[in-house]
Structure 1
């Protein structure tokens, strides 16, 4: 049965996240509540609008309100999920002791503020907004008070690598099976080299996004038979990674190649008397991680 406690959440807090984000939407996803709470999702959004200064070029996050409950008569519990660009990124579940029914507004405002500050201090926010290194983030979290056990960061943590290893057919050159390694030098550029049975390759990949799994254009020189055939190729490719497979996934690329050199006997075997076409289909298929 609902308790007759309520609040209009008229309080305001001065919340200053270090990352450039703001609360864009609040979605009410409560299944049940043990209190009769006046503030709906819109009132909570208005609280954040009053409390967080919206910075230029700030990104919006969406909050799913899961629960606002008074437990054991003295504990106010708040549960919210953070979503960024439609993806779940962070869960907040905390409680605060109530002095009396009149303290509900202040307690709820404190928990709403704590939720945003703990998300701001999380390694998830660092990964999303990339404004500080993990070491700088750890120093800031250590300086925060009342953050409890909500945040842990290994001091040896490094930014996740975007380098890609691939294994498969026509990977690493004009090969039956080969291995290729890409070293990501920036958000959009990577250099790669590979070798296999029997051939090798080297080239540059131009990515369409900054993420490890972003699609790419591959400009490369490919060798087959270790000197028997050489091509210059332009391919478009990408990775398909399952949600539960970590970094491991399907790797594919397809495009066109121009033959720079081919052994005469190999040319005769492959193309007969017609000679080498102006362009050839260039493909690569396999797995990568």
Structure 2
């Protein structure tokens, strides 16, 4: 189903054991070719519902379906032998009850062969996390900025400032106590991220948080520079593939229009 590596597969227990040791490397990815590359370097690959915005052009993550997550989860799993593959549960697929969450999580895991699922929310999702983990489903939690509920929290704003600091800490503690094996801290203050990392016994995975978190995650398309019009403060571009792709496509179009492509090296002759 996937490419062969010399590394043993990661699991939730191994990720938890990395707490306070080697930083956990995580990328959000959605396709087999990228998963094959990420699998050589990452401990964890997240199939995020950000796929809706990154690959499908949706205005937010709220339009993402379970079937969309399954399709991309299958694609990533085909490319990953070593990294732990986590698939997001999309908006509306788990919030109404723990039972709904279990049905969605079980379906996603069966269809994708992923190792864990991720859901958003703090203390109010603790009962659901406990319900899932007590039934053998590893859960990656997500607190701070939660994109699925961005309309209800006033937009993409930094969380954990002022009086909000303790709320986010309480959320992080609640998801740990409910059984999550790690927690994403998104767009929170550096001070809060450091406090949460010191407080928790499970790993913290930062995105727009702190380099003192137990791990880091970025969307692969963001860190590769695929989008020239989107660069939040927390994204470091490790390449500018968008610029390279634009130049390559421009050259291709020019060569086609001038009939320079295909050339002699790219066509087939009759056998003599």
Q: Using structure 1 for the length normalisation, give the TM-score.
A: 0.21
More helix by share: 2
More strand by share: 1
Q: Which structure would you say has the larger RCO, counting Cα contacts within 8 Å and 6 or more residues apart?
A: 2
Rg comparison, structure with higher value = 1
Q: Using structure 2 for the length normalisation, give the TM-score.
A: 0.22
